[in-house]
Structure 1
Amino acid sequence: MPSTIRYNKKFDQLTDEEKALFEINKKSIADFVEQSSSVSDVNYATRNAHAKTYAVAHGEFKINPGIPEELQQFFDKDKYDLMIRFSNAHPQVGKNRKEIPAYGFAVKIKDENGDLLANYPMVNFPLFPINSVSTFLQLFTAVNRFFVKKWNNVFSLTAQVIKAAPYFFTPSMIKNVFRFIGKRNDFLLAFDYYSVGAYRMGEYVMKIKLQPQSVKKNFGRKMSMQKALESYFESNDYTADVMIQLCYDLNDQPINKLNQEWKNSPFIKVGEVKMMKGCLLDPRSCETELLSFNPFESKSIFHPVGKIQKLRDEAYKVSLQTRRKINKLLHG
């Protein structure tokens, strides 16, 4: 295997300005979650992103016996247990509106004792449009405040959208947006899913792609997505290839430019995700709603890498802690 870029803490370091903006953002996350039952007209506190759970399922991660020798140290078992959450990226749980086809495929990997190895929240779009941490935090804060305060914050939100707009117009972003538009009506399980940001694999730095082997893109088109998933797993199994790319050159595989695709890094198949028919759990249970897929709860050798990724740790914690507090009050 060619020489790779090794993980360095400098990839993750935030400036003092970014840290200050993050404190403001965390407050906006807590405010959103506290008001989220009203925002979504539900009887529980929701996440402030990927609020709607379509389904939760058990699965398996089967390791490819032909993985490169250098990577075998990270897989000491033939298979691992998975908990998987399917979601919609919108911060509001929609009931009667047309949903945006922005889906989440969050994976929790456990060992034979049920202990957590890694969380990987993945989405069906390979890029993240904003590279500037400050710009992202200001936009994310404005979005949270808009949902809580509505029109009182519309001018601030508009200003932040305009500020962030140039990041959406890289060649990679434009190409993938048009590709996404062409697939917008596809079944959730027919999409590829991506880690978007980078992750550690020991001292290696990688990105992850999940590629389904055979799912009809038109399945359940006349159903709601939740009903389509339930119908699919009544009589079908699901298998997807787990592919990774490694970082060899920061020019070709940038860690903190999430609106650029990695190039000149071949995909390596490390295994398969398998879900058998009948694998779905109750998506409406309180235990399901309190599931956390914070990637920083993973073992340190599988932690996220990069500045935007670094924000996930405390953001997930604030959201989860606030949800738990509110939901415990609501449900006794």
Structure 2
Amino acid sequence: MPNPLQYNKKFDELNEEEKKLLGINKKTIADFVEQSSSISDVNYATRNAHAKTYAAAKGTFWIEPDIPELLQPYFDKEKFDLTIRFSNAQLKIKNTRKDIPAYGFAVQIKDENGVLLANYPLVNFPLFPINSVSAFLKLFTAINRLYMKQWRNLFTMFLQLGKMIPSLFTGDMFRNMLKLIGKRNDFILSFDYYSVGAYRLGDQVIKIKLSPQSVDKNVGRKQKVKDSLQNYLQTNDFSADVLIQVCYDLKDQPINKLNVEWKNTPFIKIGEVKIDKNSLLDSRNCNTELLSFNPFESKIFFQPVGKIQKLRDEAYKVSVQTRRKINKLLHGKNG
């Protein structure tokens, strides 16, 4: 096996145009969150993405006893405590029986003293359809503004969606879209979950995959996603393998090209996520909504890598700060 590629901060650097567009985008994020309670018709400020919480639960990350020596410094305990949030990717919360199958499995890892080690917001689609930072920022800004009924941004949104089309035509993207369509009615816990972008593991760069063990895809077919998930977790234990891929060569494992899968790097099992039955948290509790799964709050050697990931750093900060400010005020009124 060749030596892993070393992390370099150049992987994350934005140019001046991208920084300017990011500043504009951050303003629309703050505006969206401030208006989010009326956008979603709820009594709290929501997240700017993955607004809908299906459930939150406590879990445990058990480390493989024979983990490769290269990885041992980062996983030096037998187990770690987890807080997990299950969500839907849409910006607006809709009270429908059928949601689009764009699910989130966000994991917060803490040590035995309750010190935060890492946040990993995982999703059930392994790729991202936009490689251009500028195109993504313009599209996301236009979408935020449309939700706030600024209809003049409709043309901008369609223009940026048009620019996105060529990046959809990779074999990996096409194959995974067909797979998702085939699984669209499957139970939320039967999906694999992915980091999409890359993360640091010390000086190495990795991607993460979470693969559930023996979950029936037909669970709760006639129920709302939220009800089927909560019913399952109240009466069943859940286990999933945690796998990583290591970056060795940017040609086969590109960091800033997110519409292709990494090739020629094996999946390495590093442990298992376990949720014991009846470990649910109260998803209606304001403190649950105040939880943050910002991956940039992680220890420095677990943080995200790449330009699209760098955008998420600023977006998370603005969204979390605005959301916490509003929800703490609301929580104080209701408390």
TM over 0.5: yes
Contact 1:139–1:164 (CA<8 Å) still a contact in 2?
no
Q: 2:246 corresponds to which letter in structure 1?
A: L
2:319 equivalent in structure 1: 319
CA apart distance, 1:150 = 5.2
Cα RMSD for the two superposed structures: 1.0
Contact 1:40–1:93 (CA<8 Å) still a contact in 2?
yes
Runs of at least 5 residues in structure 2 that lack an aligned partner in the other structure: none
Superposed CA deviations along residues 8-54 of structure 1, whole A, max 9, x for unmatched, are 01100000110000000000101110111111011111001000000
Q: 1:128 corresponds to which letter in structure 2?
A: F
CA apart distance, 1:153 = 2.7
1:79 equivalent in structure 2: 79
1:129 equivalent in structure 2: 129
1:277 equivalent in structure 2: 277
Q: 1:94 corresponds to which letter in structure 2?
A: K
CA apart distance, 1:66 = 1.4
**Matches of 1:12 and 1:250 in 2, distance apart?**
14
**Matches of 2:151 and 2:303 in 1, distance apart?**
38
Superposed CA deviations along residues 223-280 of structure 1, whole A, max 9, x for unmatched, are 1111111110122100000000000110000000000100000000000000010011
CA apart distance, 1:97 = 6.2
Superposed CA deviations along residues 273-293 of structure 1, whole A, max 9, x for unmatched, are 000100111111110111100
1:184 equivalent in structure 2: 184
SS of match in other structure, 2:84: strand
1:49 equivalent in structure 2: 49
Q: 1:262 corresponds to which letter in structure 2?
A: W
C-alpha distance 199-327 of structure 1, shift in aligned 2 (>3 A): same
1:201 equivalent in structure 2: 201
Aligned pair count? 332
1:17 equivalent to 2:17? Answer yes
**Matches of 2:187 and 2:33 in 1, distance apart?**
29
2:229 equivalent in structure 1: 229
**Matches of 2:74 and 2:96 in 1, distance apart?**
45
Superposed CA deviations along residues 149-204 of structure 1, whole A, max 9, x for unmatched, are 25343222222211222221111111110111111111000000000000000001
- In the superposition, the TM-score normalised over structure 1's length comes to 0.98
2:305 equivalent in structure 1: 305
1:69 equivalent in structure 2: 69
Percent identity over the alignment is 69
Q: 1:160 corresponds to which letter in structure 2?
A: Q
SS of match in other structure, 2:46: coil
**Matches of 2:262 and 2:4 in 1, distance apart?**
14
Q: 2:65 corresponds to which letter in structure 1?
A: P
Q: 1:273 corresponds to which letter in structure 2?
A: V
Q: 2:7 corresponds to which letter in structure 1?
A: Y
Contact 2:24–2:141 (CA<8 Å) still a contact in 1?
yes
Runs of at least 5 residues in structure 1 that lack an aligned partner in the other structure: none
1:105 equivalent in structure 2: 105
**Matches of 2:67 and 2:140 in 1, distance apart?**
39
C-alpha distance 127-83 of structure 1, shift in aligned 2 (>3 A): same
2:141 equivalent in structure 1: 141
SS of match in other structure, 2:72: helix
**Matches of 2:57 and 2:160 in 1, distance apart?**
37
2:158 equivalent in structure 1: 158
**Matches of 1:324 and 1:4 in 2, distance apart?**
39
**Matches of 2:157 and 2:197 in 1, distance apart?**
25
Deviates more, 1:303-312 or 1:145-154: 145-154
